[in-house]
Amino acid sequence: MDISAPRGTKDALPDEARRWRFVEDTFRRLCRLYGYGEIRTPVFEHTELFVRGVGEGTDIVSKEMYTFLDKGGRSITLKPEGTAPAVRAYVEHHLGGQGAVTKLFYVTPIFRYERPQAGRLRQAHQVGLEVFGAASPAADAEVIQLTMAFYEALGLKDLELRLNSLGDAECRRRYREALLSYAAPYVASLPEDVAERMRNNPLRLLDSKDPDCIEAMNGAPSIQDYLEPESREHFEALLALLRDLGVACVLEPRLVRGLDYYNRTVFEVVSGSLGAQNSVCGGGRYDGLVELCGGPSTPAVGVAMGIERALMLLDETAPIAQDAPVAFVVAIGAEMGPRALKLATELRQAGIATDLDLETRSAKSQFRQADRSGARFAVVLGEDEWSRDAVVVKDLRAQSQTEVPVCDLVAALSR
Ligand code: ATP
Ligand code: MG
């Protein structure tokens, strides 16, 4: 039998898991600081939610979803993103009840059938924010500033925040027409099915990673010239708020998102040192989505940040807490083994991180394990001292040792 992890998935072993925890804990700490509440939605949803909430024309829905029939014949999809499920939960639980602004965050795996490469997995992970019920540019500014504060807290460097506005539906309709007539000669050269998709949503021409397409779109009209007055005003206000908050950004009139439901603000953060998979997060406003998912008309803005890509950028010097125990109990002689377990348990109950050799190997081997564990102290349980209700505490850093009565041990190790 040769079973390995499925393509596009990864195990996080303890050292790596510690880096994950650093990223997630940093995010949770900030969310608490900014007044966001955590939401945990199921790993799978009815397929219909994503078809509607992400959009039939997107790569995610058309090519990347893990969809299957369950034993009851229902079409189920492993969540490819966190926003549609959050919206579903928001509507289902009437979270916007009294018209209050609802601020949520999530930490979630996502599943997309993609071609795996560095920074692109089939099970990937995201942290994200969703703000419901706030149309004001202050909401966009808070989400963006929190996003940048998160990356700063992780110590990530060489990041660029790119910002654009997609205006309202009418503005996008006019822009689409302009874009399509600009790109008509290029679109005509494409295979018919691709051309058809581009005609349906020409904004995707700007989103393409294909070099020919990128080349053809050089000189395309800018959506900034099509913004209607309200969206322009909203965008200007957002820019002023960001300036005031000290958040640097670059206007990127070509920035559109792969997802259909965005309006007005769109943004992404890219890294100068990630190569092809350079986008670390994507976000924006989606005022139509809640209604599309069966809820009351509710403005909303959010962001989704890739954990794997943040981890790729995390410096070796990031302040990641070590898992080393404080104490390692060393039993001299096999008959001391059970006492070592009892003593270790008592230390643990007193809140002192403690490890020991569950196999009670030779003293030499146990001291080696104590060193390797990174423990500050070896607590040595010898027949002699034990008969006096005492142990030897060896400071592995200072290489000094003293005999300590068992009743004083917790105090001695806590110092
Ligand atoms: P990309 O252009 O890289 O495919 P996307 O537009 O599909 O990104 P979003 O759906 O906006 O990305 O997801 C937000 C973030 O989640 C991305 O910026 C990226 O950091 C991360 N992400 C998305 N898909 C994957 C994946 N398959 N593997 C790892 N991270 C991912
Ligand atoms: Mg993608």
What type of residue sits at position 12?
A: A
Q: Which atom of ligand 1 is nearest to the CA of 280?
A: 20
**What is the identity of the amino acid at 392?**
V
Q: Rounded to whole angstroms, how far apart are CA atoms 108 and 373?
A: 31
Give the Å distance between the CA of 162 and the centre of ligand 1: 15
Sheet-wide strand order for 327-331: 354-356, 327-331, 377-381, 390-395, 400-405
Please give the number of the atom of ligand 1 that sits closest to the Cα of 283. 11
Q: Cβ(285)–Cβ(267) under 8 Å?
A: no
Q: And the tokens for 78? A: 């492993």
| Tokens coding 412 | 């001695």
Predicted pLDDT of residue 400: 94
pLDDT tens for each residue of 331-342: 998 899 999 999
**For ligand 1, which residues put their CB under 6 angstroms from it?**
81, 112, 114, 119-121, 124, 126, 258, 277, 279-282, 304, 306, 308-309
d(CA 254, CA 239): 17
Ligand number with the minimum distance to the CA of 110: 1
Q: Three-state secondary structure along 315-347?
A: CCCCCCCCCCCCEEEEECCHHHHHHHHHHHHHH
* Distance from Cα 249 to the centre of ligand 2, integer Å: 23
Atom of ligand 1 nearest to the CA of 269: 18
Q: Chain centroid to CA 206: how far?
A: 25
Share above pLDDT 90 across residues of the chain, in percent, rounded to a whole number: 77
For residue 120, give the DSSP letter.
B
Which residue's C-alpha comes closest to atom 8 of ligand 1? 279
- With pLDDT > 70 as the criterion, what percentage of the chain qualifies? 99
pLDDT given at position 274: 77
Protein residue whose Cα sits closest to atom 23 of ligand 1: 306
Closest ligand to residue 279's CA: 1
Question: Which ligand is located closest to the Cα atom of residue 276?
Answer: 1
Residue ID of nearest Cα to ligand 1 atom 12: 282
How many Å lie between the centroid of ligand 2 and the Cα of residue 209? 10
Q: Which of 50, 46, 31 is nearest to 127 (CA)?
A: 31
Ligand 1 atom with the shortest distance to the CA of 60: 7
The pLDDT assigned to 258 comes to: 54
What distance in angstroms lies between residue 8's CA and the mean position of ligand 2's atoms? 14
Atom index in ligand 1 nearest the CA of residue 277 equals: 3
Per residue of the chain (415 residues), give pLDDT as tens.
Answer: 789 999 999 999 999 999 999 999 999 999 999 999 999 999 999 999 999 999 887 889 999 999 999 999 999 999 999 999 999 999 999 998 878 899 999 999 999 999 999 999 999 999 999 999 999 999 999 999 999 999 999 999 999 999 999 998 888 889 989 988 998 888 888 888 878 878 888 888 887 878 888 888 888 999 999 999 999 999 999 999 999 999 999 999 989 875 667 899 999 999 988 777 789 999 999 999 999 999 999 999 999 999 999 999 998 778 888 889 999 999 998 899 999 999 999 999 999 999 999 999 999 999 999 999 999 999 999 999 999 999 999 999 999 999 999 999 999 999 8
Q: Over the stretch 138-169, which tens digit does the pLDDT of each residue have?
A: 999 999 999 999 999 999 999 999 999 999 88
pLDDT reported for residue 259: 61
Cα of 58 to ligand 2 centre, how many Å?
10
